[in-house]
Amino acid sequence: MMPCSARSLYPSKEAIIQGFPSKNRGDALDYSLYLSPFCCEPGETVIRLTVDVPQETGLTLLWSALSNALATIGLQGGTPGTQSITMTLETSTGRRYVRTLRITVLDDAGSVDAVQASLPPPDHAAIQPDNLTLPDGRILTL
């Protein structure tokens, strides 16, 4: 799978809250941040991605992954309304960036809400970090 450019966001150089495109509650979609704005020195790379999806959002984090150009997450479900998640990126030089991102979840018929999605992570991306999973396969978040 290739991350969808329609749901890829160039992060602001300032620490502001930005928004990803809306999703329906039944959607299982990938969302990405371009990494180049986080790398300030030649050869600097993003080496770690941590994602916080609060339980009250109703969103399920399917996976998080890093490639050379993108930090990508897979999300499913969600409580209708505007939800916030946090992505923390750490670089090879020790810089850390914490970005809060909003996703508006729209209500839908809900026919597939309880079905685990089969959305795969991007091809050739490193799954980040090694995740603890719950018995039903969802990633454990705090």
Domains of the chain by range and CATH?
5-109 (2.60.40.10)
pLDDT tens digits for range 47-103: 999 999 999 999 999 999 998 889 999 999 999 999 999 999 999 999 999 999 999
What six digits make up the tokens of 122? Answer: 């991007």
Beta pairing, strands 96-106 & 18-19: parallel
What letter would DSSP give residue 26? Answer: T
Given CA atoms 134, 21, 127, 92 in this order, what sign does their dihedral have? negative
- pTM of this structure: 0.77
Q: Are 87 and 4 in contact (CB under 8 A)?
A: no
Q: What is the pLDDT of residue 68?
A: 84
